[in-house]
Amino acid sequence: MYRNSAFCMMDKSMLNFCGFSRFMDECTLPKRIVISLKRKHAIGGEKWQLLPVCACRSWSLPATIKMKRKSDKAWYALFVLPLVFVFTTVVIIPFLIGIGYSFISWDGMPLNEKTFVGFENFMNLFSDKRFMESARHTLTFSLISVLLINVIGLAFALSVTGKLRVKNAARSMLFTPYLIGGLILGYIWKFIFTDVFQSIGNLTGLNHFFFSWLLHPKYALAAMIVVATWQMAGYIMIIYINGIQSLPEDVIEAAKVDGAGYWQALFHIKFPLLMPSFTICLFMTLSNCFKIFDINFSLTGGGPNNATEMMAMNIYNEIFSLNHFGYGQAKAIVFFISVAIITLMQVSFTKKREVEM
């Protein structure tokens, strides 16, 4: 709009004399342009004003400029507001209200009163044995799964980016589990860990390994890790493949010429260059494992005896099964804060180790 209009400089007093001063105001031009032009031409002081030529010639144009700006704002609102409205009602408002709910005691019945209890909910949850246990399970589960998923995913990625002719087929097959939702995967593996394992145990006589894993607390947690790894490894593989394929060929070639073996090139050249992929993959696996619910719900249901109840499920049970709406929400806020802290810590930690080419 302004880019094509010519500018001229006029004496302010002259303008005043002509009765133009109302339109000679800088406000007809965006401040940014005026300031930059002033800088460019070293225009300062009060005497000289900058204004579009057209503004001197006619009275109507400043009005159209104003209209244009108004219509720009209307377009902006038309494009942005619908989504912002939905987003606000679905995410922002519930999040803010949720903070409020965490300070009250309420059983979820609309007619029953909500009593303000201050920080009591937060004090209580740190001495809540079941909640702290679930936090411990979540930590153990996340640590082991993140490690396993990334190691296996990276190993897959390295082996299907080599010379294999079947690499495309292999990629597709390894990725398949990710597409099937956690809930359905959990049910499939539930059958495997209970009945199929027992039947394998009976057939082979390896009863000390093949028994119903879901009945034993430690093995049930291991079962969760197996399923999560099975689901996520293929997904993480895809991200690593992307990283490996964008590695600069010449650097690796140079390392080979200098006499680096496969492992040397892998650990000293490829891995440092893959750091951005590590950042992404660790972030994705860490946040996914921390928030895991579906597999927990369908595979173990938190059992046996709450031994595999993760934080997400503990919150769900507290709110919707035990009807402790305020207390459960306080847990949910603590959950949010711990997810945020842990993932941000991880990101800043791995970001520091990224190398520039």
What minimum distance in Å lies between the beta carbon of 319 and another protein? Answer: 5
Instruction: Give the binding range for another protein (CB under 8 A) out of 62-70, 121-129, 198-206, 259-267.
Output: 198-206
Which residue among 94, 112, 116, 126 contacts another protein (CB under 8 A)?
Answer: 94
- How far is residue 164 from each of residues 2, 107, 151, 171, measured CA to CA in Å? 59, 59, 20, 11
What minimum distance in Å lies between the beta carbon of 13 and another protein? Answer: 35
Positions in 328-347 near another protein (CB under 8 A): 328-329, 332-333, 335-336, 339-340, 343, 347
| 81 phi and psi angles, rounded to 5 deg | -60, -45
What minimum distance in Å lies between the beta carbon of 14 and another protein? Answer: 34
Positions in 146-165 near another protein (CB under 8 A): 159-160, 163-165
What minimum distance in Å lies between the beta carbon of 159 and another protein? Answer: 7
- Does residue 97 touch another protein according to CB under 8 A? yes
What minimum distance in Å lies between the beta carbon of 316 and another protein? Answer: 7
181 — alpha (psi -120 to 50), left (phi > 0) or beta?
Answer: beta
What minimum distance in Å lies between the beta carbon of 216 and another protein? Answer: 19
Positions in 164-183 near another protein (CB under 8 A): 164-167, 169-183
Residue closer to another protein by CB (options 8, 84) is: 84
The amino acid that residue 25 corresponds to is: D
- Does residue 306 touch another protein according to CB under 8 A? no
Residue closer to another protein by CB (options 18, 80) is: 80
CA-closest candidate to residue 305, choices 198, 221, 186: 221
CA-closest candidate to residue 98, choices 341, 327, 344, 338: 327
Residue closer to another protein by CB (options 9, 340) is: 340
CA dihedral 18, 23, 25, 29 (to 10 degrees): -140
Positions in 34-93 near another protein (CB under 8 A): 72, 75-76, 78-80, 82-84, 86-87, 89-93
- Does residue 131 touch another protein according to CB under 8 A? no
Positions in 223-262 near another protein (CB under 8 A): 230, 235, 238-239, 241-242
| 217 phi and psi angles, rounded to 5 deg | -50, -50
- Does residue 123 touch another protein according to CB under 8 A? no
What minimum distance in Å lies between the beta carbon of 69 and another protein? Answer: 11
CA-closest candidate to residue 230, choices 290, 166, 184, 168: 184
Positions in 2-21 near another protein (CB under 8 A): none
Residue 278 burial class via C-beta count within 10 angstroms: exposed 0-12, middle 13-18, buried 19 and up: buried
Cβ neighbours, 10 Å, residue 64: 13
Give Cα 334 distance to the centre of its chain.
18
Residue closer to another protein by CB (options 16, 112) is: 112
Which residue among 119, 187, 267, 349 contacts another protein (CB under 8 A)?
Answer: 187
Helices (H) and strands (E) in the chain, counts: 18, 4
Which residue among 150, 279, 285, 308 contacts another protein (CB under 8 A)?
Answer: 279
- Does residue 184 touch another protein according to CB under 8 A? yes
What minimum distance in Å lies between the beta carbon of 285 and another protein? Answer: 11
Count CA atoms within 13 Å of residue 20 on its CB side. Answer: 23
Provide the b/e sequence for 313-332 (b: ≥16 CB within 10 Å). bbbbbbbeeeebbbbbbbbb
Residue closer to another protein by CB (options 129, 163) is: 163
With CB under 8 A, what is the number of residues at the site for another protein? 92
**Which helix (H) or strand (E) covers residue 48, if one does?**
strand 48-52
Question: 191 is written with which tokens?
Answer: 């059958």
